[in-house]
Chains A and B, each alone.
Chain A
Amino acid sequence: MTTELFDMPKDTDIAWCLGCGNFGILRIVKTALTELNIKPEELVMVSGIGQAAKTPHYLRTNIYNGLHGRAVAAAFAIKAVNPNLKVIVETGDGCSFGEGGNHFIHNILRNPDIIHLAHDNMVYGLTKGQASPTSQYGFITPVQVQGVTNEPFNPITLAIALDAAFVARVFVGDQEQTKEIIKAAIIHKGYSFVDILQPCVTFNKINTWKWFKENIYYLEDSYDPNNKVEAFKRATEKGKIPLGIFYTTTKLTFEENLPIYKKNKDPLYLRDVKLDKLMELLDSKRN
């Protein structure tokens, strides 16, 4: 399928290494957006800093490339002032779970209707190879010279614990499955989180294309993503990494809970100051 609506000009200078997993993710996301008939003008791609955070620059749409770690906070606000926009965060593991950990937690709780795609290559690439929150135990880097001494951060268990609306993990090497899961995440109402496993061909010599192929498997067809306890069990499994949709739930979003959209669906830029009501408020302070 052609993704030309979202394609940047052919001469765009792309800052990724040859063979980087980011190329595959970009292709999959563009295909998913095209298949869902999303218009570039009605979409905002939000990112932070890092190689993954450059993805929005290579995709023709509105982009908000803000500060490191703050993409989720920004996406929350964009959706709140204009719920008509489709808002997708696409950024890396450091941005999502390291610098941005607090926003990840609290905005899952708020449940804005946004999609959060985390590129997870278990290493910091742009800063040249230090550990990421998801680096595996024992992973040796120029900073973690004796190897990482803690168990990796597990975003899936955290997202389930916080009752995120949609929680999934995919692998960039499986294009078809990944595309379908990302489409499901985009369609699902509420905070939809997708952890995207990918290799870093330059700085992660452990978790390679081959390693991922050998260490992943899919949740079986009979798996029920509405069962939170089961979701926890599968998310905390040791050994091979399960992929698929772990958990989904439906509840009111942050925007739906806002009184200002209950009667009037207009985004805020279409509204004016209510000076007559302000006059009433002033008068109420006269006695």
Chain B
Amino acid sequence: MNDIAIVICGAAGQGIATVEDLLTGILKQAGYHCYSTSEFMSRIRGGTNSTLIRVSSNRINPTFVDRIDILIPLHFSALPHLKHRITSKTIILGEEKNIDEQYCDNREQIIKVPFSEIAKEVGGVIYTNIVAVGVFLAFFEVKEEISQTYLIEMFTLKGSKIVEQNIQACKRGYSIGNELVNSRKFRNTLQKDNSVLNDIILSGAEAIGMGAIAGGCNFISSYPMSPSTSVLVFLSHYAKNFDIVVDQAEDEIAAINKGIAAWYAGGRAMITTSGGGFALMTEGVSLSGMLEIPMVLHIGQRPGPATGLPTRTGQEDLQHVLNAGHGEFARVILAPGTPEDAFYLTQKAFNLADKYQIPVFILTDQFFLDSHYSIPDLDLSSIKNDKYIVKTNRDYKRYRLTDDGISPRGIPGYGDGLVNVDSDEHDEDGHITEDVHETRPKMVEKRLYKKLNLLRKEILEPELIGNKDYKILVIGWGSTYGVIKEAIENLGKDDIAFLHFSQVYPLNSNISEFLEKAEKTVILENNATSQFGKVLKLELDLDINEKFLKYNGMPFSAEEVIAYLDKI
């Protein structure tokens, strides 16, 4: 792998995220591709958290690696926390008090730097991390004017003294870094690539949030729950600029009921939650199905059952989302694999929901949401939002039976008609009915079969990566996109290919052809029961030969996927 993997590890509150922001931001300005991802404990202060930053000469897959090329321990707990990933090649760069040599395979690779002493000389221990950042910038031959401009922009609101001390702290780091380079303790193997300079840096949560804005989202009601909250925070931050009503709901039941009612009155609403919160919303999902009111739901998965591992990752809620809500009605489930996917699919979710008057789900996870990506661009010129709301006339019927099953959707206050919706079985007018002979069967067919037939025409094809004449087909969905792609690229075998699904329900029957062509099929999932494998079986009667399932709360690493696929 042509990248350098840096890991910063310490307690919550020690400023790991600041180091991540500064390093990825400045290194990009200097011409490096960066990808970063964090794993952390469920607490506000303390614990042991780490962030992986992969710096590369080329565009990089959004993938977690076990390998650590340089480790910065900000706390004594860092080395024991990461002992499984430290090898004889890992450079350990930190303060003496944070390095217990029993965890270091190769003492030659230990570089002790009194970061906090230097920080105190500059102005206070608060600058400790900036000194460390300076060391790295020297490693990667970043011109000082780039980092200075960046620091000035970042800290200018805090006053000139703080800006100056940050710059000084960074300078001190530079001189240590230059010494280490001169004494051959560190060698930069990477090349700069100016094509990265205009890249966008964004997190998975921001990609979802921007996709929602592009899709016309103007109402979000949600109750905070990790790891989904960052989408609520993002939309709240930009609510004023983009005309968004933000409501921190009293509970998840309220959130979805508010979202559905917002669509009823002409808004474009979404909720963001995780498995436990979504469990509370399931009656609301059913309501969206019955009222034929669109709804967009973002679910950031984390491991369960119950509270589970609140800050960890998993793909355990596909079956939950697929089956949520009593009764029978149509739905769509999308599972983006890249930030680009997340943006375009979230935008599409609003239009799909509106066009077919159904709930549409966007399924992500902690690993995806909390990662930071560098991407070339997002194409806003291709963004198109159709308006499906009709102006009503006096004889308007909300549930008028039509050939294709879609009744034109009016909203109250737009036109001369009245818009009646009812969670009971209803007639065309939206009033309660118990006519089990004619109305009920027609309404079921409308909500379920007719809509599913239409939805089948809009199914996203899975993406095939690798040789078309494969013998082994690896299947994945959602956030495992990067790791499987990277593994296939590294293996360099021409008989293996990867089929990635960013729409996991409904599925197109032509998918069978991809699987039937393979001598062997393998599925990778971040759960214990192969939940997408079950969808393939149930929907298309497809069997998968082998499963690689990971369910400890951590994402797959490139190394373990490579090792697994190499043996297949």
Chain A residues proximal to chain B, CB less than 8 Å? 15, 40-42, 44, 46, 49, 54, 57, 60-67, 69-70, 73-78, 80-82, 84-85, 102-103, 105-107, 110, 258-260, 264, 267-269, 271-275, 277-279, 281-282, 285-287
Contact = CB atoms under 8 A, between A and B. Distances in A.
B269 A77 contact: yes
Contact of B267 (A49, A60, A81, A84): A81
Given A67-B287, A271-B243, A279-B380, 16 more contacts: A15-B432, A57-B432, A65-B423, A67-B423, A70-B257, A70-B284, A73-B261, A77-B259, A80-B219, A82-B413, A84-B413, A85-B265, A102-B251, A102-B254, A273-B213, A274-B241
B413 A85 contact: yes
B378 to A, nearest CB: 6
A66 B219 CA distance: 19
Nearest to A99: B253
29 contacts: A41-B413, A41-B418, A42-B412, A44-B265, A44-B412, A65-B432, A66-B261, A67-B284, A70-B257, A70-B284, A73-B249, A73-B261, A76-B258, A76-B261, A77-B221, A81-B218, A81-B266, A85-B412, A85-B413, A106-B250, A267-B266, A272-B385, A273-B214, A273-B216, A273-B385, A274-B241, A278-B380, A279-B380, A282-B380
B96 interface: no
Contacts of A49: 423
A58 B490 CA distance: 68
A66 B291 contact: yes
A75 B25 contact: no
Interface string B220-258: 010000000000000000111111110101110110011
A67 B259 CA distance: 13
Given A78-B264, A80-B219, A281 B243 contact: no
Chain B binding surface SS class? mixed
A81 B412 contact: no
Contacts of B219: 77, 80-81, 268
Contacts of A103: 250, 254
Contacts of A279: 380
B381 to A, nearest CB: 9
B83 interface: no
B407 interface: no
B418 A62 contact: yes
Interface string B403-444: 000000001111111111111100000111000000000000
Contact of A61 (B244, B249, B385, B418): B418
A167 B202 CA distance: 48
B143 to A, nearest CB: 15
Interface size class of B (residues with CB under 8 A): 35 or more
B239 A81 contact: no
B566 to A, nearest CB: 37
Most B CB atoms within 10 A — which of A42, A74, A75?
A74
Contacts of B25: 287
Interface string B17-54: 00000000100010000000000000000000000000
B149 to A, nearest CB: 9
Interface stretch (B193-201, B300-308, B524-532): B193-201
A205 B165 CA distance: 80
A65 B206 CA distance: 35
Nearest to B251: A102
B243 A274 contact: yes
Most A CB atoms within 10 A — which of B239, B254, B283?
B254
B558 interface: no
Given A65-B421, A268-B266, A279-B380, A57 B431 contact: yes
A260 B239 contact: yes
Nearest to B243: A260
B242 to A, nearest CB: 6
Given A281-B210, A282-B200, A102 B413 contact: no
B213 A269 contact: no
Interface in B84-118: none
B383 interface: yes
Interface of B: 25, 29, 153, 198-202, 206, 210, 213-216, 218-219, 221, 238-245, 247, 249-251, 253-254, 257-262, 264-269, 283-284, 287, 291, 377-378, 380, 383, 385, 389, 411-424, 430-432
B420 A286 contact: no
Contacts of B421: 63-66
Nearest to B29: A287
A183 B44 CA distance: 50
Most A CB atoms within 10 A — which of B25, B198, B201, B213?
B213
B261 A74 contact: yes
Nearest to B424: A65
Most B CB atoms within 10 A — which of A15, A54, A63, A275?
A63
Given A57-B431, A281-B210, A274 B242 contact: yes
Nearest to A56: B420
B418 A275 contact: no
A285 B380 contact: no
B422 A106 contact: no
Most B CB atoms within 10 A — which of A76, A81, A271?
A81
Most B CB atoms within 10 A — which of A44, A80, A85, A278?
A80
Contacts of A268: 218-219, 243, 245, 266-268
B418 A278 contact: no
Given A41-B416, A105-B250, A285-B201, A269 B257 contact: no
Contacts of A75: 261
B88 to A, nearest CB: 38
Given A77-B267, A274-B243, A102 B258 contact: no
Nearest to B262: A77
Contact of A81 (B200, B262, B383): B262
Most A CB atoms within 10 A — which of B221, B264, B419, B430?
B264
B402 to A, nearest CB: 21
A66 B415 CA distance: 23
A75 B422 CA distance: 14
Contacts of B213: 273, 278, 281
Contacts of A272: 216, 385
A209 to B, nearest CB: 27
B324 to A, nearest CB: 15
Contacts of A65: 420-424, 432
Contact of A278 (B198, B214, B419): B214
